[in-house]
């Protein structure tokens, strides 16, 4: 039976390339002892025979699987889609494959941490946006592989994230510099895996107010379940029913900001003429809505995490507790403006004596 009639073997590639099987093996394993000319001949022969080296066979020789695992709480988010899309090209260039583990509920989460399916099946694990317990973190420490945490700061472990505190400070200071003093903060509750960023953005909001000498008012901090229009309506209603309603609202995510704007416009409150709104993310919808927002790049975060993982896989002396903090940028658009004059906030057109003249 000819090579074309059966699965090609390493010996078939060696014969076509005119080298020994051991040279083919060294080439496929990426060893630097193979000259560029020989590598080109072997790779050309492998392509012509549709030969691919077995991951399992390679791992027996190198001790590596050629797989990078990713653990996520959900795929149903702009952040996850953007971050994961950046991994493919980088991993392909590194000759690696991607194994994805999605644990959207408590049962699947418990099963993952009980079985740890990534063990022995990957060379590194990227953990996206999880609020882990001490026991879960300890379980991942036992994997004996690099574990990189994304969009969160985990003490003593490699982490990649943006400075959410600084980003929230920028947004709040922008509103303060426009003249706003009653600034609300709207955030999501029970958002799967994103509470680290939520807490940090609330901290940045409060920090900016304190720096400006503006008293903190817990009544201006409202929460709503993610993608819950009714919940957003109730949260905005609570703000509007205050004795001194806000003149600006900082929403921790663009999706929530969009829902806030929709609710305000439903009750004939113009944005930004009566209430300014600023978001966080700079999703595509932010540009469509002309939304002022704090821009972050999940794609850059995913690439940085994968590059850090590759460094930790290939260099035993690399820093196992390195933190990479990416910047944010304030994007000014049409949903923020100076606050209205006091009489406009009450809904009137001017002083009483002018209206009665």
Domain ranges of the chain: 3-53, 67-162+299-325, 164-297+331-345
CB count, 10 Å around CB of 303?
17
pLDDT digits (tens, 9 = 90+) for 151-169: 988 889 999 999 999 999 9
Please give the pLDDT value at position 244.
Answer: 96
In the predicted structure, residue 2 carries a pLDDT above the cut 60: no
In the predicted structure, residue 266 carries a pLDDT above the cut 90: yes
Q: Which DSSP symbol is given to 219?
A: G
Q: Is the pTM for the entire model greater than 0.75?
A: yes
pLDDT band at 12 (very low <50, low <70, confident <90, very high): confident
Task: Identify the weakest region by mean pLDDT among 132-141, 203-212, 276-285, 301-310.
Answer: 132-141
* Closest to 205 measured CA to CA, from 193, 189, 222: 222
Please give the pLDDT value at position 59.
Answer: 45
Residues 6 or more apart in contact with residue 282 via CB below 8 angstroms? 254, 293, 294, 295, 296, 329, 331
In the predicted structure, residue 319 carries a pLDDT above the cut 80: yes
Strand, coil or helix: what is 69? strand
Helix (H) or strand (E) holding 130: none
Domains 3-53 and 164-297+331-345 share a fold: no
Q: Does domain 3-53 bear CATH number 3.40.718.10?
A: no
In the predicted structure, residue 335 carries a pLDDT above the cut 90: yes
| Phi, psi of 102, deg, nearest 5 | -110, 125
pLDDT digits (tens, 9 = 90+) for 123-153: 899 998 877 888 988 999 888 889 999 998 8
pLDDT digits (tens, 9 = 90+) for 36-91: 888 888 888 888 877 655 544 444 444 577 889 999 988 888 888 899 988 888 88
Q: What is the mean pLDDT of the chain?
A: 86
pLDDT band at 108 (very low <50, low <70, confident <90, very high): confident
In the predicted structure, residue 347 carries a pLDDT above the cut 70: no
Please give the pLDDT value at position 4.
Answer: 47
Between 343 and 116, name the one with better pLDDT. 116
Please give the pLDDT value at position 144.
Answer: 81
Task: Report yes or no: 257 and 277 within 8 Å, Cβ to Cβ.
Answer: yes
List C-alpha distances in Å: 137 to 1, 116, 345.
Answer: 53, 12, 50
Q: Please tell me the CATH code under which domain 67-162+299-325 is placed.
A: 3.40.50.2300
Own/partner contacts of 156-159, CB < 8 Å, gap of 24 or more, are 156/321, 157/320, 157/321, 158/308, 158/312, 158/319, 158/320, 158/321, 158/322, 158/323, 159/323, 159/324
Q: Which two tokens stand for residue 100?
A: 């994805």
Return the CATH number of 164-297+331-345, one of 3.40.50.300, 3.40.190.10, 3.40.50.2300, 3.10.20.600: 3.40.50.2300
- Please state whether 249 falls in left (phi above 0), alpha (psi between -120 and 50) or beta: beta
């Amino acid at each position: 039976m000819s090579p074309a009639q059966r699965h090609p073997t390493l010996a078939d590639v060696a014969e076509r390339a005119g080298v020994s099987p051991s040279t083919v093996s060294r080439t496929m394993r990426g060893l630097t002892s193979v000259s560029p000319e020989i590598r080109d001949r072997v790779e050309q022969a492998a392509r012509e025979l549709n030969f691919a080296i077995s991951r399992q066979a390679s791992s027996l020789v190198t001790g590596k699987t050629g797989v990078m695992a990713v653990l996520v709480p959900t795929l149903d988010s702009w952040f996850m889609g953007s971050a994961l899309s950046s991994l493919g090209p980088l991993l392909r260039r590194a000759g690696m494959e991607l194994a994805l583990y999605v644990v959207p509920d408590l049962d699947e989460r418990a099963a993952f941490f009980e079985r740890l399916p990534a063990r022995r099946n990957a060379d590194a694990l990227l953990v996206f946006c999880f609020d882990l317990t001490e026991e879960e973190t300890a379980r991942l420490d036992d994997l004996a592989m690099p574990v990189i945490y994304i969009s969160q700061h985990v003490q003593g472990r490699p982490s990649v994230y943006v400075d959410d505190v600084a980003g929230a400070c920028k947004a709040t200071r922008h509103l303060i510099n426009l003249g706003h003093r009653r600034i609300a903060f709207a955030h999501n509750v029970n958002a799967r895996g994103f509470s680290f960023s939520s807490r940090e953005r609330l901290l940045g909001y409060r920090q900016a107010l304190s720096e400006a000498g503006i008293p903190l008012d817990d009544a201006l901090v409202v929460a709503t379940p993610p993608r819950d229009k009714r919940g957003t309506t109730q949260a905005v209603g609570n703000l509007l029913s205050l004795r001194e309603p806000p003149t600006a609202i900082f929403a921790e995510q663009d999706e929530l900001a969009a829902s806030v704007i929709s609710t305000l416009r439903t009750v004939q409150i113009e944005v930004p003429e009566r209430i300014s709104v600023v978001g966080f993310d700079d999703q595509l919808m932010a540009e469509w809505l002309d939304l002022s927002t704090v821009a972050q790049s999940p794609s850059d975060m995913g690439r940085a995490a994968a590059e850090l993982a590759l460094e930790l896989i290939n260099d035993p002396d690399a820093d196992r507790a390195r933190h990479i903090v990416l910047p944010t940028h304030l994007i000014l658009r049409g949903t923020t403006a100076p606050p209205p004059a006091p009489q406009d906030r009450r809904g009137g057109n001017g002083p009483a004596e002018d209206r009665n003249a």
